[in-house]
Structure 1
Amino acid sequence: MSMLEAEGLHTFYGKSHILHGVGLEVREGEVVTLLGRNGAGKTTTLRSIAGLTHAREGVVRLFGKVTTDWPPFRIAGLGLGYVPEGRRIFSTLTVDENLRVPAERPGPWSIPRIYQLFPRLAERKTNKGRQLSGGEQEMLAIARALLLNPKLLVLDEPSQGLAPLIVQEVFKVVTTARDEGISVLLVEQNVRAAVAVADRAYVLDDGHIVYEGSAAEFAKDEERVRALAGASAEEWEPAGEG
């Protein structure tokens, strides 16, 4: 079953044509990664899916419903959890207060469960958002999205600016979400980390999809991975190995 289908998306910022017929699919219970260099259109694709920047042409279907022109709050209410680039937590609220902001939806994820998944947040629950490290802020942003009990979790650059050990923790959450039956769409500059956890991969180049297929197969193409990875070409070693 398809959780997300995007077909022929053309999205503009003013007169700038950013997406040129972008299409992708996320099926039930899988992790899909969307890769590409800076400026390729990855964030714009996510914004088009989440209703933050509507496509001028094309169709977005979420859970079988056409949501192309829906406002973000309706899309979130349908079961999409979106963690934007830059985290965007409330810096003047405590961790606990941040976690009480999302409207509750029925499902397995609750604040006590979040504190089990992220013991670090439990230790810092009375600290304000601005007092957290970058990694703790990312955990908090993901935690808020999980509290919506989404059917599809969309993550934009969750490892950006984080130390390698914290990156491993963040990616463990991605696999935990999948194990819980949540589908995941992941935009990520750390190509090796992304293809290690993803089932399928898409590659964007200048607003066009130039690759679609198995993430494992893409990972074997060392030349392509290095070309995409750039500064993130370091070895990726999942937690618990090596």
Structure 2
Amino acid sequence: MNALEADGLHTWYGKSHILHAVSLTVQEGEIVALLGRNGAGKTTTLRSLMGLTRARDGTVRIFDKTTTAWPPFRIAAAGVGYVPEGRRVFQGLTVEENLLVPLERPGPWTIETIYKLFPRLKERRANKGRQLSGGEQEMLAIARALMLNPKLLLLDEPSQGLAPLIVEEVFGVIAGTRSAGMSVLLVEQNVRAAVEIADTACVLDDGRVVFTGPASEFASDEARVRSLAGASVEDWDRPDRELENPG
């Protein structure tokens, strides 16, 4: 069974036609990296899959159920976790209070298992969201989604604004979810980091899918990777990587 199938999605914002017949598949236990330059339609694709910006045409199926017209809360209840761009943790709540916000669903992810996966969150469990660094806020956003015990995780730009060493840590966690049987659709500007952990790469350009294939195949095409990665390649390759300032 596929975790996710999108077929021929056309999505508009007002009079602007953003997605043009976008189709993609995420198999169970697979990580798919959705890549492309800024404005290519990556975030709109995630929003269409989650029912936040409904596609005008096309079909979305999640775990063999047609969810195209479902509201976001129903899609989440079907086992889909969503970590939006910008993290959106509750700044006035503690780490632990943030983790307790989602409705409890049965499964392996509990406060205890989250703290084993993210020891830094355990150390800062009494700190307010506003007191966390960007990397810690991203970890908290992912952890909060895991507390729903999803079978499919949608992540929008988890590396945004993070120092390279923190990116490696966050992406190691994402890769670890696959070993737990979770499926992941990852939108990411840091192409190098994404293709290192992904099974499949899907590239958007101007709202159209222009490449779908093994991530290793895409990663081997240096010119193509650099054309998408831009400055993030230089950031990822920097020899003087430093930990993010926790302030």
Alignment TM-score, normalising by the size of structure 1:
0.96
Q: Find the counterpart in structure 1 of residue 109 from structure 2.
A: 109
Q: Find the counterpart in structure 1 of residue 219 from structure 2.
A: 219
Q: Secondary structure at the match of 2:230?
A: helix
Whole-angstrom distance in 1 between the partners of 2:167 and 2:46: 21
Whole-angstrom distance in 2 between the partners of 1:118 and 1:174: 12
Q: Find the counterpart in structure 1 of residue 132 from structure 2.
A: 132
Asked if the contact 2:164/2:235 (under 8 Å) is kept, the reply is no
Whole-angstrom distance in 2 between the partners of 1:146 and 1:216: 27
Query: Could you list the per-position Cα deviations for residues 190-228 of structure 1 after superposition, in whole angstroms to 9, with x for gaps in the alignment?
Result: 000000000000000000000000000000000000000
Whole-angstrom distance in 1 between the partners of 2:77 and 2:118: 25
Asked if the contact 2:34/2:188 (under 8 Å) is kept, the reply is yes
The aligned length equals 237
Whole-angstrom distance in 2 between the partners of 1:175 and 1:202: 17
Q: Find the counterpart in structure 1 of residue 123 from structure 2.
A: 123
Q: Find the counterpart in structure 1 of residue 57 from structure 2.
A: 57
Whole-angstrom distance in 2 between the partners of 1:166 and 1:230: 19
Q: State how 1:12-27 maps to structure 2 within 5 Å.
A: 12-27=12-27
Asked if the contact 1:42/1:204 (under 8 Å) is kept, the reply is yes
Q: Secondary structure at the match of 1:234?
A: helix
Q: State how 1:1-242 maps to structure 2 within 5 Å.
A: 1-234=1-234, 236=236
Query: Could you list the per-position Cα deviations for residues 166-213 of structure 1 after superposition, in whole angstroms to 9, with x for gaps in the alignment?
Result: 101100111110000000000000000000000000000000000000
Query: Could you list the per-position Cα deviations for residues 95-127 of structure 1 after superposition, in whole angstroms to 9, with x for gaps in the alignment?
Result: 010000001111100011111111111111111
Whole-angstrom distance in 2 between the partners of 1:174 and 1:96: 20
Query: Could you list the per-position Cα deviations for residues 32-53 of structure 1 after superposition, in whole angstroms to 9, with x for gaps in the alignment?
Result: 0000000000000000001100
Whole-angstrom distance in 1 between the partners of 2:153 and 2:179: 13
Corresponding letter in the other structure for 1:59: T
Whole-angstrom distance in 2 between the partners of 1:50 and 1:185: 12
Whole-angstrom distance in 2 between the partners of 1:230 and 1:157: 15
Q: 5+ residue gaps in structure 1?
A: 238-242
Q: 5+ residue gaps in structure 2?
A: 238-247
Asked if the contact 1:28/1:182 (under 8 Å) is kept, the reply is yes
Whole-angstrom distance in 2 between the partners of 1:93 and 1:145: 16
Question: RMSD across aligned C-alpha pairs, in angstroms?
Answer: 0.9
Query: Could you list the per-position Cα deviations for residues 44-87 of structure 1 after superposition, in whole angstroms to 9, with x for gaps in the alignment?
Result: 00000011000000000000000001000000000000000000
Q: Find the counterpart in structure 1 of residue 243 from structure 2.
A: none
How far does residue 234 in structure 1 lie from its aligned partner after superposition?
A: 2.7
Asked if the contact 1:192/1:235 (under 8 Å) is kept, the reply is no
Whole-angstrom distance in 1 between the partners of 2:226 and 2:61: 33
Instruction: Provide the identity percentage.
Output: 74
How far does residue 233 in structure 1 lie from its aligned partner after superposition?
A: 1.4
Whole-angstrom distance in 2 between the partners of 1:77 and 1:8: 24
Corresponding letter in the other structure for 2:27: R
